[in-house]
Amino acid sequence: MVTSPDALRNHIKLITGLGANPVHLDEWLEKSSRGAELPPLSVAFTFDDGWQDNFEHAFPVLRANDIPFTIFLVSKLIDTDRTFWPEQVLQLLTADNVPWEDDCFQWLTSAMDAVINPPARLPLELADADSVIGELKALDDETIYRNLALVYQAHPHLAPPHHSRAILNTAELADMAASGLARYGAHTQHHYRLNRLADESQLEREILACMDDIRSLGTAHTDIFCYPNGDITHKGKDLVKSRYKAACTTKTGWNREGCDPYDLHRFNLHDGNSYSPQRLLATIGRGLL
């Protein structure tokens, strides 16, 4: 699910052409909460997870068009070459040099058996790999990372290469912040799904300490949270409310003046649903229904 620079350029052109005012999300929220006058139509660009390609591909387009944006960071991944488990699992499922009969893959082969019928030919096609990743979401994130670590320990050649950094580093964050266009919100410390954490202190670290990490970077932070995968519990939401001014969900739609700031809706745009102006209008228009 990616947005090409051309598609992003088209989004900006079309949305501003419709009269929408590009705004910093936190400034719009601040005005909305005190009932100040707002433009009839505003647009806030947000990016989740802190992918390095936000700097490489999106930032030049945003800067050229003077578009403010918010990136929700996974604080413990910054300055590392680690990435998220779905990408790592996808890599394994689509590789052709995996000794699947080895015990360390049992958690993956049983997920394959559960969703692919008749038994799959390996390596998997993308659609089948996607179903397996969906099935693995029944496990908690730490278990999956532990299983992956055992795989790499037994088969070092399968480990993700160290030269392929996927996540933003401090220098890139500072560079984008210096433009005055970027602000950084919180997307937990490890991108664990917050409805699957058994331990309350872990929930607190993921939600509260994440912003401490981001503030310690000394760059343009904003006190807005973004729920990984859109998942949250009552206790988690209370913690978010105690520390942040607002939170983004994965729900689709518009936000109106005076809306619940902890239940912000968005449009998840990618080339598949918004490359052409017609598709973009259809995707956004559906949010009005």
List interacting residues with Zn ion (CB under 5 A): 48-49, 228
CB of 164 to Zn ion, least distance (A): 19
Cβ nearer to Zn ion, comparing 179 with 250:
250
CB of 29 to Zn ion, least distance (A): 20
Cβ nearer to Zn ion, comparing 155 with 165:
165
Question: What are the tokens at 245?
Answer: 């001014």
Spatial distance between the Cα atoms of 67 and 117, rounded to a whole number of angstroms: 47
CB of 23 to Zn ion, least distance (A): 22
DSSP sequence for 245-279: SEEEEEEES---TT--TTSEEE----HHHHSSHHH
Spatial distance between the Cα atoms of 283 and 285, rounded to a whole number of angstroms: 6
Cβ nearer to Zn ion, comparing 87 with 212:
87
Cβ nearer to Zn ion, comparing 49 with 128:
49
- 3-state DSSP helix/strand/coil percent for the chain, to nearest 5? 50, 15, 40
Cβ nearer to Zn ion, comparing 124 with 167:
167
Spatial distance between the Cα atoms of 217 and 172, rounded to a whole number of angstroms: 12
Cβ nearer to Zn ion, comparing 8 with 73:
73
Q: Which residue is nearest to Zn ion (CB)?
A: 48
CB of 48 to Zn ion, least distance (A): 4
Cβ nearer to Zn ion, comparing 192 with 262:
192
Phi, psi at 45, each rounded to 5°: -90, 130
Spatial distance between the Cα atoms of 98 and 90, rounded to a whole number of angstroms: 12
Cβ nearer to Zn ion, comparing 59 with 72:
72
CB of 287 to Zn ion, least distance (A): 20
Alpha carbon distances (Å) from 76 to 67, 173, 192, 213, 246: 27, 14, 11, 8, 21
Question: What are the tokens at 82?
Answer: 């680690």
Alpha carbon distances (Å) from 193 to 112, 221, 288: 22, 22, 29
Contact 7, 275 (CB under 8 A): yes
The one-letter amino acid at 148: L
CB of 206 to Zn ion, least distance (A): 12
- Candidates 227, 251, 250; CA nearest to 237 is 227
CB of 77 to Zn ion, least distance (A): 11
CB of 169 to Zn ion, least distance (A): 18
Spatial distance between the Cα atoms of 6 and 271, rounded to a whole number of angstroms: 9
